[in-house]
A and B are shown apart, each in its own frame.
Chain A
Amino acid sequence: MAVTVETAAMQAVPRRRRRVARYLPALLIAPSVIMLLCLIGFPLVFALKNSFFFWNLQTSPVPLQYVGLANYELALTASAFGASLVNTIILTVTGTAIEFFLGFAIALLLATQLKGMSVSRALLIMPTTIAPIVAGFLFRYMYDPTGGLLTWLANALFLPVPAEGLLGSPNTALLSILIADVWQWTPFFAIVLYAGLLSVPKEVIEAARLDRASFAAMVFRIKLPFVLKTALIILLLRFMQLFNTFDLVLVLTRGGPGTSSRTLGYTLYQQGLIDFNIGIASATTWMIVLIINALVGLYIFFAFRKWEW
């Protein structure tokens, strides 16, 4: 009798344990999934609902009236939308590209193990650690038309500086934002790609040297493939970040002059937090969400398609 009881107990324990083991992954993931749903899902759904209502916080604390797609129509036809979409795409594409190539070049230099590289590495990461808003103010002073360092530097190099200042001219305002962003984020690419370059086996480099690899072949056919996965991911991250650029624009130009440096992020800010038009802001939010998801989807489809070795 005692024997049967014992065997039954011994069987029961593993079975319970097995059931726990089966659901354990789901249980462990559940909190973060629920959190994500609350933090991302709820605001999105809330915004989607609001985008179909007329709701201005200056007139009412609650949505006033269902207006269908009128908010989308208004947002799209406003002259600022087209301009800010174009500005955003220019800023995002050129910014990501410049930061990547500069960063990769710096990473290659860092990986050469020359003297003083460890100090350089430590100094390099500093711009990225500064809050974007602070970096914005820093550049506002440096762009100052009378005493700014960059204005002075441009003058000294005989570069044409507009009389109204680099930030004041529609020709250079967006470029000035781009430069500030490149200054802040190139080190990020450099450090991450440098870490990637460290994963290139020494023997592979040596084999390539014995194969008489030219400088370009060494960089693009041997080293770049090793950091490609890392590069694709940080490019994606930076692309999404840059697409939502807002803080630099707010501090440097407020989207001006006119709409020459206005980004989608700034447009959104103006609609929601200056005009307090929650309906239109929600509609714009949803359009940005759709655009960036389409772009990222395309990117992932093409970039990660041949991802095997």
Chain B
Amino acid sequence: MASLQFERIGKTFDEQVIAVANVSFEVEDGEFVVLVGPSGCGKTTLLRMVAGLESLTAGTLRLDAVDVSDTDPRDRDVAMVFQNYALYPHMTVYQNMAFGLQQRKVPAAEIENIVHRTARTLDLDKLLKRKPGALSGGQRQRVAMGRAIVRNPAVFLMDEPLSNLDAKLRVQMRSELKLLRARLGVTTLYVTHDQVEAMTMGDRVAVMKPIDNPGETNLQQVDTPQTLYKQPVNIFVASFIGSPAMNFVRVRLAGGGDALTASIVGTPISYDVPAGYLAKHPGLADYTDKEVIAGIRPEFFEFAALSNATHKLPLDVDVLVTEIIGPDSYLHFDLPTPPVHVGTSDEPADATLTQPADTQSTRFTARVDPEAAAEASGTARITLDLARVHYFDPASELAIT
């Protein structure tokens, strides 16, 4: 059991490549924190620095208030689960799990006791005599977990432990991991690029971003999953969290006082910013007669027939594609407004769906009721919930509050 403090931590490779810079946050005792971000954002490097496998080039790392920045990995009480498990291939499952304890000079009888107990909880007791080569992916993953658990470390480090499993097994292991962590209650730092994993598993989630300037920081926001979703601090976090990704559109604000009118650039569409929203986000008034970026999650749209509340903006859109995925359906449509470029996703899903050919229009995704979507074709009337729209400063990309 331990807390972890990161204080302006930085890592530069070969004095040129900046992997991590100015990362400061704290992991409380027993907390489960997920590091998430696109590839190259330094999340794995940060994890390896906690393990002691990478040296720090800046900052201080404290484990239970003790500075461990330069401590050898052998002398930090941390256990790590590697992405490819890194099991010892020539040892049996039992030996794999016992090795760390043997090196710590734990008495043999006690080792046997601990390993068998852990193997039972992980459902590995029938596999103890097997070697990793004779195990399935999910079993290897559990052995890797077991090897970390038997040591009863102060901190668990997990580097994308589920990424080598197939989709179904991943969901199963995710819930097993959650159960396990609820029982063990050990401080855990968990790296993933999968935001669903991050949102479902973390007590708090740290969103990281690739950087190339030593003055910046990788760390964008550390918060609970719900806060990240509802109050993203900037465009990066807003677009990274949520699937399908948030829609961005430029709007021009006009008016003043407690009545602001927003018009979507390039279109005749305009609406009044709800007064209640303005009261909660007074900063928005400073942007009168300026352009801001509005962030609209796909789920902020609804079919017109299903809503009659106020603060809804009706839109008649030409539906290009309808994707029906079980409980959800996604409508894709274009509006003739210049697109906002946000560099977050490193995996452009389907270029034709995310980016229209015409550079003067922007593609939108709406998440709507599948029953109604099945009938929608050609022009459809949908509404936008204006009370939930996010606004960002176009220059700093920070959320306007």
Is B133 in contact with A203, judged by CB distance below 8 angstroms? no
Is B103 in contact with A210, judged by CB distance below 8 angstroms? no
* Cβ proximity bits B116-136 to A, threshold 8 Å, 1 near / 0 not: 000000000000000101000
Among the 9-residue stretches B82-90, B212-220, B267-275, the one with 4 or more Cβ atoms under 8 Å from chain A is: B82-90
Given A211-B100, A212-B100, A212-B104, A222 contacting B88 (CB threshold 8 A)? yes
- CB under 8 Å from chain B, chain A span 220-257: 221-222, 225-226, 228
- CB under 8 Å from chain A, chain B span 132-177: 133, 147, 151
List the B side residues contacting A206 at CB < 8 Å: 51, 53, 73, 80, 82, 86
Given A203-B84, A206-B82, A210-B78, A221 contacting B89 (CB threshold 8 A)? no
**Minimum C-beta distance from A306 to chain B (A):** 10
User: At the interface, yes or no: B183 with Cβ under 8 Å from chain A?
Assistant: no
Complex CA distance for A226 and B104, rounded to whole angstroms: 23
**Minimum C-beta distance from B54 to chain A (A):** 10
User: At the interface, yes or no: B74 with Cβ under 8 Å from chain A?
Assistant: yes
**Minimum C-beta distance from B50 to chain A (A):** 11
- CB under 8 Å from chain A, chain B span 63-85: 72-74, 78-80, 82-84
Give the one of A211, A308, A309 with max B CB within 10 A: A211
Is A214 in contact with B103, judged by CB distance below 8 angstroms? yes
The closest CB in chain A to the CB of B80 belongs to: A210
* Cβ proximity bits B88-110 to A, threshold 8 Å, 1 near / 0 not: 11100000000110111000000
Complex CA distance for A210 and B103, rounded to whole angstroms: 10
List the A side residues contacting B131 at CB < 8 Å: 308-309
User: At the interface, yes or no: A134 with Cβ under 8 Å from chain B?
Assistant: no
Complex CA distance for A230 and B201, rounded to whole angstroms: 44
Complex CA distance for A214 and B151, rounded to whole angstroms: 16
User: At the interface, yes or no: A142 with Cβ under 8 Å from chain B?
Assistant: no
Selected from B72, B83, B84, B103, the residue in CB contact (under 8 A) with A211 is B103
The closest CB in chain B to the CB of A203 belongs to: B86
Complex CA distance for A228 and B53, rounded to whole angstroms: 27
* Cβ proximity bits A34-51 to B, threshold 8 Å, 1 near / 0 not: 000000000000000000
- CB under 8 Å from chain A, chain B span 186-233: none
Is A212 in contact with B51, judged by CB distance below 8 angstroms? no
List the A side residues contacting B104 at CB < 8 Å: 212
The closest CB in chain A to the CB of B151 belongs to: A211
How many residue pairs link A and B with beta carbons under 8 A? The number is: 65
Complex CA distance for A208 and B53, rounded to whole angstroms: 11
The closest CB in chain A to the CB of B131 belongs to: A309
List the B side residues contacting A209 at CB < 8 Å: 52-53, 72-74
Give the one of B51, B73, B90 with max A CB within 10 A: B90
User: At the interface, yes or no: A213 with Cβ under 8 Å from chain B?
Assistant: yes
Selected from A210, A225, A226, A309, the residue in CB contact (under 8 A) with B51 is A210
User: At the interface, yes or no: A289 with Cβ under 8 Å from chain B?
Assistant: no
* Cβ proximity bits A114-144 to B, threshold 8 Å, 1 near / 0 not: 0000000000000000000000000000000
The closest CB in chain A to the CB of B76 belongs to: A210
User: At the interface, yes or no: A161 with Cβ under 8 Å from chain B?
Assistant: no
Is B90 in contact with A309, judged by CB distance below 8 angstroms? yes
**Minimum C-beta distance from A269 to chain B (A):** 43
Complex CA distance for A209 and B78, rounded to whole angstroms: 11
User: At the interface, yes or no: A201 with Cβ under 8 Å from chain B?
Assistant: yes
Is B74 in contact with A203, judged by CB distance below 8 angstroms? no
List the B side residues contacting A226 at CB < 8 Å: 90
Is A309 in contact with B53, judged by CB distance below 8 angstroms? no
* Cβ proximity bits B249-278 to A, threshold 8 Å, 1 near / 0 not: 000000000000000000000000000000
With A208-B88, A213-B74 given, name 12 new contacts (CB 8 A).
A203-B84, A206-B73, A207-B86, A209-B74, A210-B52, A210-B53, A211-B103, A212-B103, A213-B103, A222-B88, A226-B90, A309-B90
Chain A positions within 8 Å of B, measured between CB atoms, are: 201, 203-204, 206-214, 217, 221-222, 225-226, 228, 308-309
18 pairs of residues in contact across A and B, judged by CB atoms under 8 Å: A201-B86, A204-B86, A204-B88, A204-B89, A206-B51, A207-B80, A207-B88, A207-B147, A209-B52, A210-B80, A211-B99, A211-B147, A212-B100, A212-B104, A214-B103, A217-B103, A222-B88, A309-B90
- Shortest 4 CB-CB distances between A and B: which pairs? A203-B86, A211-B100, A225-B90, A207-B86
